Amino acid sequence: MNQVDYLRISLIDRCNFRCQYCMPADAEIEYLLQQNLLTFDELLTLLKEVFIPVGFTRFRLTGGEPLLRPDAVEIVRAIASLPETQDLSMTTNGFLLANKAQELYDAGLRRINISLDSLDPDTFNEIIGNRGRDRWQSVWDGIQAAYQVGFDPLKLNVVVIPGVNDSEVLDLAAFTIDRQWHVRFIEFMPIGNGQLFENRGWIPSEDLRGQIRLRWGLTESSVRGNGPADVFRIPGAKGTLGFISQMSECFCDRCNRMRLSADGWLRPCLLNETEQIDLKTALREGASGAELRKKVSYLLGIKPEINFKQRDSGTTGTYSRTMSQIGG
């Protein structure tokens, strides 16, 4: 088991997209009230008095859509300035990024992941639940802005949905040939998407690698990130291809992360709703740093026993929160 030193921090549970793989199209989502979100000061207190002392040094800011939070840039600046921070990154849908890329970079962010599930605007709009409203161009502009500013690595996340965008795998992989971009193909997961997973199923990463191998060849890359991706490279390409294979190739034994939701719930595994703790309420009720560290240390202690394949709610994913509410 790897040392658990990587915390994914959800800044907000709201999102301006409604992606098929994230939340059911017909779901009535009850978003958090402003007063129920961790405040700027509370988040910094948890980092400085709890998470960093127990060994967390790598942080990723997520949502919902993190750039919807008004103080997102200030949060980046504060975490980047902590002397213990070894790595800080963000996952975004890119829609607001064109106007934020320079600010984020100046605040100290250097790594960014942007969701780009299709190169076809119609398919893209279908996936994000915005039929008739062209948002693809805004996302593409955000990607270009991040590239120009100098984010390195710049990663593109692709959730592969059978019969929806799986025909674009080669086109998306081709981005890595002439650009120092890193494309990550993610197996479709059974969480927060109603009957879609049951109807569509998922495509194993090895099948995707097979397509790419037949077209260009494929070699293992020496580049390794902080996450669970198996990394490869098209021979001679500037960028890399990553495969996150949580369905076909369980990577629990090398998971080094925990997730903190926007309202302060800490869970040791994305798909585990049994073992989680409410740090926000404890903090607001006056718990000391030592008491909070004890709670987090307990979760760290049981994390090796938690396995994705033994997830709480069965294979079709009936969970009390969608991906956007947990923090992607």
Question: Model confidence at 315, in pLDDT bands (50, 70, 90)?
Answer: very low
Predicted confidence band at 121 (pLDDT cuts at 50, 70, 90)? very high
Here the tokens at position 24 are 């059911």
Residue 165: partners with Cβ closer than 8 Å, 6 or more residues away? 117, 118, 123, 127, 158
Q: Among the residues of the chain, which ranges form H helices? A: 40-46, 72-80, 101-107, 121-127, 136-149, 169-173, 175-178, 196-200, 205-215, 279-284, 289-302, 323-326
CA 254 to chain centroid, in Å, comes to 17
Distances (CA, A) of 114 to 130, 254, 258, 313: 18, 24, 20, 29
> What tens digit of pLDDT does each residue of 286-307 get?
999 999 999 999 999 888 776 6
90 to each of 119, 226, 317, how far by Cα in Å?
22, 13, 26
Quote the CATH superfamily of domain 6-326. Answer: Aldolase class I (3.20.20.70)
**Per-residue confidence (pLDDT) for residue 273, from 0 to 100:** 64
**pLDDT higher at 272 or 284:** 284
pLDDT confidence band for 271 (50 / 70 / 90): low
**Mean pLDDT over all residues of the chain?**
87
Is pLDDT of 60 > 50? yes
pLDDT value of position 109: 98
Report, in angstroms and rounded to the nearest whole number, the Rg of the chain calculated over CA atoms: 19
Quick one: what percent of the chain has pLDDT higher than 90?
64
Q: Which residues, 6+ apart, have CB-to-CB distance to 140 below 8 Å?
A: 94, 116
The residue ranges of every structural domain in the chain are 6-326
* Nearest-angstrom CA–CA distance, 163 and 84: 45
- What is the mean predicted confidence (pLDDT) over 114-130? 91
Beta bridge partners of 87: 58
- 161-187 pLDDT, tens digit per residue, is 999 999 999 999 999 999 999 999 998
For residue range 26-42, what is the model confidence (pLDDT) as tens digits?
A: 667 777 888 999 999 99
Identify the residue whose tokens are 């903190």.
Answer: 260
Angle (CA) 324-327-328 rounded to 5° is 85
What type of residue is 57? T
192-244 pLDDT, tens digit per residue, is 555 666 656 788 999 999 999 999 999 998 766 556 789 999 999 999 999 98
How many other C-beta atoms are found inside a 10 Å radius of the C-beta of residue 99? 12
CA distances from 22 to 54, 194, 197, 279 (A): 31, 9, 11, 25
Closest of 322, 321, 302 to residue 310, by C-alpha: 302
76-97: b (≥16 Cβ within 10 Å) or e: bbbbeebeebeebbbbbbbbbb
Q: What is the pLDDT of residue 81?
A: 98
- How far is residue 186's CA from residue 246's CA, in Å, rounded to a whole number? 8
pTM, full prediction = 0.91
The confidence score (pLDDT) of residue 207 equals 95
Q: List pLDDT tens digits, range 182-204.
A: 999 998 877 655 566 665 678 89
**Can you tell me the mean pLDDT for 18-32?**
73
**pLDDT at res. 316:** 37
Based on the number of CB atoms within 10 Å of its own CB, is 253 exposed (0-12), middle (13-18) or buried (19 or more)?
exposed
